[in-house]
A and B are shown apart, each in its own frame.
Chain A
Amino acid sequence: MSAVDEKKVNAAGQPDPNWEPNIVGFACNWCTYAGADLAGLSRMQYPPNVKLIRVPCSGRANPQFVLRAFQKGADGVLVAGCHPGDCHYATGNYFTRRRFLLFQRLLEFSGIDPRRFQARWISGAEAPKFRDVVTQMAEEVKALGPNRKLREEL
């Protein structure tokens, strides 16, 4: 792999200063993905750690996908969709909200810092919010260091 093969951890398990977290984002097509596109159109700058997987609705994001991401080595996972009440599919994000609030606590119980897994509401007009959320998350996860819980190779 090219420039990105840099996930190094020193012997003490402390993050290398050059280490960059890898964060998987699930973004609903109608709000958050559109908000991310708007951030691009507005030429906002943010760190490249969060990579979005486009899903029709945040309610399509199965907790299984989040577990798989942590299992395969993601350092953080973001699930983002329309604000409650604004769901393109009427009720999808209500399920997301219930499901992931509970899931975040379950992950915390399993030893995953809640800052590593977040569910956020970002509308198609909220480009600045998208930038702020991904920037903040990248910084927080970087400070936390690589995730070692749930990873299959550990």
Chain B
Amino acid sequence: MKRIGVFVCHCGTNIANTVDCANVAEVAKDFPGVVYSCDYKYMCSEPGQVMIQEAIREHNLDGYVVAACSPRMHEPTFRKCAERAGMNPYMVEQVNIREQCSWVHADKTKGTGKSIDITRMGVAKVAQNEPLFSTTIPVTKRALVIGAGIAGIQAAIDIADAGYPVTLLDREHSMGGKMAQVDKTFPTLDCSACILTPKMVEAAQHPNIEIVTYAEVEAVDGFVGNFDVTIRKKARYVDVNKCTGCGLCSEKCPKKVASEFEMNLGTRKAIYVPFPQAVPNKPVIDAKNCRFLLDGKCGVCKKVCPTGAVDYEQKDEVIVERFGSIVVATGFEQFDISKYEEYGAGRIPDVITGLHLERLMNASGPTMGKIKRPSDGKVPEKIVFIKCVGSRDEAKGRPYCSRACCMYVAKHATLIKEKIPTSKSYIFYMDVRTAGKNYEEFYARTQNEYDAQYIRGRVSKIFQVGDKLIVRGEDSLLGRPVEIEADLVVLAAGMDPQQDAKDLARTLGISYDQHGWFTEAHPKLRPVETHTAGIFLAGACQGPKDIPDSVAQASAAAVKAAGLLSKKELTAEAQTAGCNEAYCSGCGLCVAICPYKAIELKRISERVHGGTRERQVSSVNQGLCQGCGACSVACPSSAMNLKGFSNDQILAEVDALCQR
């Protein structure tokens, strides 16, 4: 039988007013195992703690119960108090007679009765407590950033500036992400490339940053501080070490295909650099379109290359590297507008998306910055914008707001007026949401100085008559139908998660919501952490975001990642699951239920009847386990148990509460 102490706190008058603390301490003396019990005005105070420590020594206590405020408040205090007296900190239980008793029950008799009950519960639990020890895990002082858009770049630079090596990985050929495709940025209208390119160069030249483009994460093993990441570097067919980026190969390549970067409005070659400012500025051969790789005929690029960098034999390379923390910054995809049949989206060439318009406005875009209709190259005079296409539309499975569209439409209307002064923009909207610094002012200028006409209502149909697009909708403020003969229609397409976001989430062991956005650990208080320790989120992969928000979140994620790397070693949670191998049948139910991929099956050999036998049992990785206890409930043989909240401990509590 353990020797247990009970310490009842008055918390001044907070508890003592409605609970007879002396009576609780007196009754507790008779609980099984209790050898010492007392009450005191403030247990958490210095004298209170000294009193507890003296009692531990004097009465040779194995564990104690403190009946006081919520353990969510002072559990660490009383655990440390035990430690100072040489007692294992996990031999302490705190029962809550303040928040859940004295403050909510004005009747002193009832309050005292309940206090006695829950103190008995605490004593019963402590009698079952076992000393627990935290393990420490080493930290690999390197970070991986997945996705080299603006969020990934910012996160990588911040971690690198903090002094830790960073690998910045992107599956595209170049860094830059979606921001590289954007022409100008709201609300300041500075050119996107002018602010992004220096960042890309800074990252590329940073001594602590290694850029790995055209590569994907295939598998992630390990746990916080020690992730083993399998990276597939796809074959570029160009030796980046030999290539000088002179561009002769692209110039001479005979094969032209539609450029993805230009939203198929322009062309590129089969060996190409996606855009002029690309970093690294080294070409890649598109194997699906290269004549040599398809038919073995051509080989022009290899012939013209002055450094002999073209290598048709190159193969994918798979590497495994270890990182201490991971920042996920995989961004978004533009919503596929062809889901809006009624707008002729995908059918009518002059119904385009915001990103198409960005390319049409960009000085290095397919039209050299002249806004021309994709169908006939005519300069449009009347432009209709439709907002919330693929946002706030339950019918299309996108109930959320994409947050950036209101502002980018205002930006487009402003820029179009500057480029085509005789033009007129009509903007169909549901609401205008401009919550950001200087956003509302920008929106007001768009209306007042750039003459954009905002029409509240939805468009029901768009169809072609001659070379005009008839946009039919409703003005819900005037309550009447509207029809506009437009030259160009721009759909403010919302943001979608990356199509394979869920696959990546499963690879990383992080969670995602019903749409595919990665879920943060807490929507308000832990916005950049995931539920998996050591993995952080930055930018639009967590939910629609504009550039300022993405950058802010990236820096926040970088601090979290660098903070983790700054530790010599990590203290693992002591209250973790553990498997009693003698009971374990190796069924693997716990493996499937574990949200942290902390459990795996291992083979053990044991001696049975003079021979050795091999069998499977579960094994918990203490570094990964967060102590939720899901496995212990799933386990059919009670082999799996959660330390600190074991079956025996909880059953003892149940028994104590029922026994009156």
Residues of A within 8 A of B (CB): 1-5, 7, 22, 24, 29, 33-34, 36-41, 43-48, 51-57, 59-62, 64-65, 68-69, 72-74, 85, 88-92, 95, 99, 131
Residue among B72, B73, B531, B657 with the most chain A CB within 10 A? Answer: B657
- Cβ of A92: which chain B residues have Cβ within 8 Å of it? 595, 628-630
Q: Which residues of A contact B626 (CB under 8 A)?
A: 89
Across the interface, B72 reaches (CB within 8 A) one of A33, A55, A74, A99, namely A33
Chain B residues closer than 8 Å to A22, beta-carbon distance: 657-658, 660
Which chain A residue shows the least CB distance to B519? A90
Contacts of A85 in B (CB 8 A): 513
Query: How many A-B residue pairs lie within 8 Å, measured between CB atoms?
Result: 155
Residue contact A51 to B630, C-beta cutoff 8 Å: no
User: Closest CB-CB distance, B8 to chain A, in whole Å?
Assistant: 14
B116 contacts A by Cβ under 8 Å? yes
Chain B residues positioned under 8 Å from A43 (CB to CB): 103-104
- Residues of B contacting A51 in the complex (Cβ-Cβ under 8 angstroms): 114, 117-118, 121, 657
Seed contacts A40-B101, A40-B104, A73-B658; 19 additional CB < 8 Å A-B pairs: A3-B110, A3-B113, A33-B70, A40-B98, A41-B103, A48-B113, A51-B118, A53-B653, A55-B645, A59-B629, A60-B630, A68-B651, A72-B658, A72-B659, A74-B658, A91-B511, A91-B630, A99-B633, A131-B104
- Contacts A41-B99, A60-B630, A62-B633: A48 and B655 contacting too (C-beta < 8 A)? no
Q: Does B112 contact A (CB under 8 A)?
A: yes
Q: Is B263 an interface residue (CB 8 A)?
A: no
- Most A CB contacts (10 A, CB to CB) among B106, B113, B654 go to B654
Q: Among residues 576 to 605 in chain B, which have CB atoms less than 8 Å away from a CB atom of chain A?
A: 593, 595
Interface residues of B, dominant DSSP = helix
Query: Smallest Cβ distance from B575 to chain A, in angstroms?
Result: 8
* B106–A45 CB distance below 8 A: yes
Alpha-carbon distance between A51 and B655 when the two chains are bound, in angstroms: 12
Cross-interface CB contact of B117 among A4, A45, A88, cutoff 8 Å: A4
Q: Are B628 and A48 in contact (CB under 8 A)?
A: no
Binding site for A on B (CB under 8 A): 23, 27, 70-73, 96, 98-101, 103-107, 109-114, 116-118, 121, 511, 513, 519, 521, 531, 575, 593, 595, 626-630, 632-634, 642, 645, 647, 650-651, 653-655, 657-660
A-B contact pairs, 21 of them (CB 8 A): A2-B112, A2-B113, A22-B658, A29-B72, A33-B70, A33-B72, A34-B72, A40-B99, A40-B104, A46-B105, A53-B657, A59-B628, A59-B629, A60-B628, A60-B629, A68-B651, A69-B654, A74-B657, A88-B628, A89-B531, A92-B629
Most chain B CB within 10 A, of A33, A34, A59, A92, is at A59
Minimum CB–CB distance from A74 to chain B (whole Å) comes to 5
